[in-house]
Amino acid sequence: MKKIKLFIKRWSFLILFLTCGGVYLTCVDQWQVCAKAVSFLQESGIWEKEETKEQGTPQREEAPSAEDPAQETQPQESTVQETQPQSPLPEENLPVSSSEGVVYETVTDDYFADAVFIGDSRTVGMYEYGELEDVSTFYASTGLTIYKLFDTPIVKVPGQRKKATIEEMLSKKQFAKIYLMVGINEMGTGTVDTFIQKYQEAVEHLKELQPDAIIYIQGIMKVTTERSEQGDYINNEGIEARNERLAQLADNRQVFYLDVNPQICDETGGMESSYTFDGVHLKAQYIAIWKDFLKASAVKVSLD
């Protein structure tokens, strides 16, 4: 008994630390700290176990720098393919607007030089693997939601220890294009109506902060059908309901709606399972599909 008490006293801190860490990784982080390593092993054929499932929690907490994204922590070389596959969209899959007066054109990466990408972990994925980190500005962070879009300090500013909010950064610098994608983290909060109301308020505020910018509302990416059928709040039915309402926010003059889902989903209507390591996020090499879609969806002409 004495030895047991001595053992507990000596190792109590370590036991508490490991227990707390395990609870955090399981309930909050969903073991995303291991996600990229698992993805790399799976893609390399080293580990062929069934892909890990998660509940939409994003991949990392750090936001790219506002002014100097090259100074941000870059993804480890071992997790990035040296040459990402190019996946130009077939002509029949190019986006076609259902509204008169909107014409799209295909552009090069330079089009995004005066653009800012705002979003959660999926946008972080675009920053890390879309080869735009030296071209565009990214205000993206794990867990970002429409409810905290403007007042959460997520943006690293060179030379400052304190992070800035998106509100602060958009008040200092003007952009020509804004790409907004959030929504997967909000699936378990509120209703479709409350989500859309807050989203519409955010779009109106973006127009106030950036009056000359084209705003691209991006539909929420779906999850795999298998992930959708797990029975929790993350499901494709809910995503479709939100996307249908998001499309209605586009005025096709300053605000436009883009939906990459037809390019990344299979015949079941969910994200193609081979494109994802967790049922929610695109693998590194398939970010190119999303990027090519955006390049083929640049607004050329908008008539009233």
> Model confidence over 167-223: pLDDT tens digits?
999 999 999 999 999 999 999 999 999 999 999 999 999 999 999 999 999 999 999
Asked if 205 and 150 touch (Cβ cutoff 8 Å), the reply is yes
Question: Which token pair is 199?
Answer: 């989203």
Residue 68's Cβ-count burial label (10 Å; 0-12, 13-18, 19+) is middle
**pLDDT at res. 22:** 63
Determine the Cα–Cα distance for residues 248 and 99; give it in Å rounded to an integer. 11
Number of Cβ within a 10 Å radius of residue 239:
21
User: Could you list the residue range(s) of the whole structural domain that residue 145 is in?
Assistant: 54-302
Asked if the structure places residue 81 within a domain, the reply is yes
pLDDT of 122 > 80? The answer is yes
Q: Is residue 7 part of a domain?
A: no
pLDDT cut 90: percent of the chain above it = 62
Work out the pLDDT band at 300, boundaries 50, 70, 90.
confident
pLDDT digits (tens, 9 = 90+) for 44-103: 444 443 333 333 333 433 444 433 333 333 333 333 333 333 444 444 444 444 445 689
Contact 231, 271 (CB under 8 A): no
Q: What is the CATH number of the domain that holds 149?
A: 3.40.50.1110
Better-predicted residue by pLDDT, 2 or 151: 151
The Cα–Cα gap between 292 and 109 comes to 10
Coil, helix or strand at residue 265: strand
Amino acid, single-letter form, for residue 219: G
pLDDT at 44: 44
C-alpha to C-alpha distance for 217 and 122, rounded to whole angstroms = 14
User: According to DSSP H, which parts of 121-165 are helical?
Assistant: 121-129
Q: What does the block give as tokens for 9?
A: 């006293």
Strand (E) or helix (H) holding 25: helix 2-27
List C-alpha distances in Å: 198 to 71, 165, 169, 189, 282.
Answer: 33, 18, 20, 12, 26
Q: Is residue 37 part of a domain?
A: no
- What is residue 57's predicted lDDT score, i.e. its pLDDT? 36
Could you give the number of structural domains in the chain?
A: 1
- Is residue 217 included in any domain, yes or no? yes
Residue at 225 is within a domain: yes
**Is 43 inside any structural domain?**
no
Nearest to 215 by CA among 176, 167, 173, 184: 176
298 within domain boundaries:
yes
Over range 144-167, report the average pLDDT: 95
Q: Give start and end residues of each alpha helix (H) in 109-182.
A: 121-129, 166-172
Judged by DSSP in three states, 299 sits in strand
The pTM of this model reads 0.70
- Which of 82 and 269 is assigned the larger pLDDT? 269
Instruction: From 193, 296, 171, 200, select the one nearest 241 (Cα to Cα).
Output: 193
Asked if the structure places residue 11 within a domain, the reply is: no
CB 94 within 8 A of CB 249: no
pLDDT for 143 beyond 60? yes
CA angle 134, 113, 118 (to 5 degrees): 80
- Of 136, 230, 143, the C-alpha closest to 183 is 143
Strands 137-140 and 115-119, sheet pairing: parallel
